[in-house]
Amino acid sequence: MNDDHFIYCLEAVEDIDHIETTEVTKILESVALIQNISSIHKTCDTIEGLEESLSFLLHNDHNFKDYEIIYLVLPGEANNILINDYYYSFQEIAELFEGQMQGKSFTLPIRRYWTLKKKNFSISST
């Protein structure tokens, strides 16, 4: 992989039709400006939207090979995520990605009472 870093971020929101700048959006913008790391930020508000976004990412996104980090920001607890009152297990998410995540960092912060701080978000080349 080259020295460029790219982030794909999928965030669960209450309503995708209600355009709102979230904390995640602000952090990704800051990372782009300060660390020169480009990102794609998508939102979903249903489990179908999550599955559609992940399916598109895996099968149709020609830039998938360039995303070093896949960052999902989803509410939930324990080994489940919660979207629109539907629980989805980590096992089910893993099955969607099976065999397709080599060389990727996969981050799934569970957002019960989440707060993200700019100073805590960084990427380092190794």
**pLDDT (tens digit per residue) in 43-60:** 999 988 988 898 888 888
Please say whether the beta carbons of 83 and 47 come within 8 A. Answer: yes
Count the domains in the chain. Answer: 1
Please say whether the beta carbons of 45 and 83 come within 8 A. Answer: yes
Question: Shortest CA distance to 54 belongs to which of 121, 9, 120, 7?
Answer: 9
In a domain, 67, yes or no: yes
What is the predicted pLDDT for the residue at 120?
43
Mean pLDDT rounded to a whole number for the chain = 76
In a domain, 122, yes or no: no
In a domain, 83, yes or no: yes
How much is the average pLDDT of 18-36? 89
In a domain, 42, yes or no: yes
Q: From CA 12, how far away is CA 36, in angstroms rounded? A: 25
pTM: 0.71
In a domain, 81, yes or no: yes
In a domain, 106, yes or no: yes
In a domain, 86, yes or no: yes
CATH number of the domain that 99 lies in?
A: 3.40.50.1460
In a domain, 108, yes or no: yes
3-state helix, strand, coil in the chain (%, to 5): 30, 25, 40
Q: From CA 73, how far away is CA 109, in angstroms rounded? A: 6
- pLDDT higher at 107 or 33: 33
How much is the average pLDDT of 68-73? 84
Q: Which domain holds residue 58?
A: 6-113
Residue 42 has pLDDT above 90, yes or no: yes
What is the predicted pLDDT for the residue at 105?
62
* Residue-wise burial string across 108-118, b where 16 or more C-beta atoms lie within 10 A, e elsewhere: eebbeeeeeee
